[in-house]
Every structure is written in structure tokens, then in C-alpha cells.
Chain A
């Protein structure tokens, strides 16, 4: 088990270099339903190895009870929304008279592995697409139905359903080829200070993860667990809603959910978590 040794070594190294931090991420392993073994602490991929010495899921930064909730689908409140999305999946909408199931059949088969590679390049459209964009493209082009609100409840639970069938698979978004330009833009945004507080994503989630910011335990801001069921608002939260909240907290005017800036940022942030397991829907506070 070299993996565990590496983690122990990393922990020791962190303890020395970050002596002031007194709330290290918890060493623990996540197995969902006693079946799906999750990678929650791993080596960074080549594209981000200069930025992060280790890649840690937000799961390690949460309390014992919150971590336990995610380990069993019965206890994970996010799974209630997944069940609702299963009904949505089979519901015929739009002028074409189709449901998701009409083309894609069983979600567990057709959508397995999809979450892990998004955002990704869409050759036909000539753009980088998030999973939300793809869902809406499918609704508009194939179902002739109204698009869902980008960060709305119906969209969040559909993305949660699609994520849930990929749980345990490693996040593996492309950073090169046709997405390279967007990825660079996302990286730029990640390190750009915004708002009256003049904070970039990196100031908290790269420089200070593991430390406390008042009562909050700063994580690396990984998005492998999205959509996230948050105990504070008792619903699923999408990636762009979280980005918006974070940028707002720097006291800046934020980009809009679904905007090209947030799509680029999502691609870059997702790539920072390459190698972590897809966890969505995860449970956080």
C-alpha cells in the first residue's frame, strides 16, 4: 500500500511546513455503501503539480458526522434529489415527445463516466461545455423543450443523477488540445484577485487550505463532489452557484452562472482535482 505510505509522508511533511495550522484535514477513508471505494487524497496531475503538493477532497475537511452521512446513500440527503431526477429522466417533455430515457436508455449504463470528463470540448458546437450546458443543449436541440435554469433545482438534481452513476471513477478532464485556451483563461481567473477584499481563489484554497477562516475550515475548493448537498441550505448546490457565492464573499460583482468566465474557471478547477473520485452528490456543511 504505497498510497497510504505516501499519504502518511505527506501528512508529516504538511505538519512541519504548516506548523501554525491546527486543523489539518482528517485522515480517513471513504467507502460509499460499503461498495464504492473513493480516492479522496492523491497525487496532483502533471498540469497542476506546481500548484498543489497533494490533492485532497473537501470530504477530509468536514466533521465526523458529515463525513459519515456521505458514506451511505440512505443517510445522504442528496440522494433524495437523485431519486427525483430519476423520475425526471423518464418524463417526456417538449415538442419532440421525448424524455432523456428515449435516447439514452438506462442512466446507469449510458451516463457512466460522463461526469468524470466534463467540462469538455464539443467539436460540433466548437466550445467547451459543462455538464449543465450539455443537458440544456440536449433539451433544446433534441427534445425541443425549454432549457432548465442553470443553477436551479431541476438542473442540480439532473447533474446529481448523472454524477451519481460515475461515483468512484477518477475525475479526468482534458487540459490540452482544443480546451487549452479555455483552461489558461480559467487559470488566470483562479489567480486573479477580486473584490474589496482583493482575494483570489488561490489565496484561500491554495495558500491556506487546512487553516481556519473564522469558524470555517478551508478546503482546497475541489469540485469533484458537486453537486453538493449543503447542510446550511438543505439543497443541492451547483458548481457555478458556489463560485458565485465565493466571488461575492470577496465583495466583488460576480460573473453569472453559465458565463464563459465561470465555464473556464470550472474547467481549470476540475483539472486541479484530476485523480480524485467523482463524489457527487456529496455532503458538506
Chain B
């Protein structure tokens, strides 16, 4: 179980219809690769976030498969076209079964 996992999202509160907005996301997570060994030579078990998705009003915007080589506190920045007012829903899936969610509403300017 990873400690101190906290999702963060930065998205504009307002957008023009059809505007491409920049979204930044970051989740604090150790992203233990499963390749390292501790002082006694035992393998430290893998514990990463293996999937990240962003949906807008139920429609998938990005769906990312994440691998062990991704570093601590994974950060994603991407552009998304906002056709109408609605909610961005961000979901991170942890190896341990935990699911972290965050929602951001965008209004029409």
C-alpha cells in the first residue's frame, strides 16, 4: 500500500465552446518499479499506478497504460477540446487495487 497518494489536477474553470484547453495532472506516488532490492537483497515488490484515464462527460479523452519505468509522482499534461460545459473525470488505478478519482468542472465562457 503506497502512502501519501494524493491526486492533483489543474484545469481551467471556463472555456470557449470547442476550445482546446491544457490540463495538468500529477499524483504523488512512489512508483516502486519492482526491480530494486533492499539492504538484505530481497526484491522490493512492484507498486505502481498502472493506468490513468481522463473522461469528459463519460467520453474517454485519454487512456494511458503506465509501466514500471515511469518515475515517482507521475505527471501528465495534455490538451483536450471542450465542446460543451461538463465534468472532467480523472482516474488513477493502483497495483494494490486502489482507485483514485478527481473531478473538475468546466463552464462555458
Q: Interface residues, chain A, CB within 8 Å of chain B?
A: 74-75, 77, 80, 83-84, 234
State A83–B7 Cα separation when bound (angstroms): 12
Q: List 14 A-B contacts (CB under 8 A).
A: A74-B8, A74-B10, A74-B24, A74-B26, A75-B24, A77-B73, A80-B26, A80-B28, A80-B73, A83-B6, A83-B28, A84-B4, A234-B71, A234-B72
Q: Which residues of B contact A (CB under 8 A)?
A: 4, 6, 8, 10, 24, 26, 28, 71-73
Whole-angstrom distance between the alpha carbons of A249 and B106 in the complex?
51
Give the number of A-B contacts (CB < 8 Å): 14
Residues on B with beta carbons closer than 8 Å to the beta carbon of A80: 26, 28, 73
New contact pairs (6) apart from A234-B71, A234-B72, CB-CB < 8 Å:
A74-B10, A74-B26, A75-B24, A77-B73, A80-B26, A84-B4
List chain A residues, Cβ under 8 A from B4: 84
- Least CB distance from A158 to B in Å reads 15
Residue of chain A at shortest CB distance from B24: A74
Dominant SS among interface residues on chain A: loop
Shortest beta-carbon distance from B94 to chain A in Å: 17
Chain A residues with CB below 8 A from B71, complex form: 234
Where chain B touches its partner, the secondary structure class is strand
> Can you name the residue of chain B whose Cβ is closest to the Cβ of A83?
B6
* CA of A75 to CA of B22, assembled, Å: 13
Complex Cα spacing A77 to B74, Å: 11
Chain B residues with CB under 8 A of A84 = 4
Find chain B residues with CB under 8 A from A75 CB.
24
Q: Shortest 10 CB-CB distances between A and B: which pairs?
A: A74-B10, A80-B28, A74-B24, A84-B4, A80-B73, A234-B72, A77-B73, A83-B6, A74-B8, A74-B26
Q: Residues of A contacting B72 with CB < 8 Å?
A: 234
In the complex, which residues of chain A have a beta carbon less than 8 angstroms from the beta carbon of B73? 77, 80
Q: How far is the CB of A14 from chain B (nearest CB, A)?
A: 36
Whole-angstrom CA separation of A234 from B71 in the bound complex: 10
Nearest opposing residue in chain A for B6, CB measure: A83
Cα A77 to Cα B73 with chains together (Å):
9
Chain B residues near A83 (CB-CB < 8 A): 6, 28
CA distance A74 to B104 in the complex (A): 15
CB proximity of B104 to chain A, nearest CB, Å: 13
B4 to chain A, nearest CB (A): 6
Please give me the residue from chain B that is nearest to A77 by CB atom. B73
B residues near A77, Cβ cutoff 8 Å? 73
CA distance A80 to B26 in the complex (A): 10
User: Residue of A at shortest CB range from B10?
Assistant: A74
A153 vs chain B, min Cβ distance (A) = 12
- Complex interface: chain A residues within 8 A of B28 (CB): 80, 83
Residue of B nearest to A234 (CB): B72
Quote the shortest CB–CB distance from B12 to chain A (angstroms): 13
Closest-CB distance, A129 to chain B (whole angstroms): 30
Measured CA separation A104–B60 after assembly (Å): 46
- What is the CA–CA distance of A83 and B4 in the complex, to the nearest angstrom? 10
A232 to chain B, nearest CB (A): 13
Residues of A within 8 A of B24 (CB): 74-75
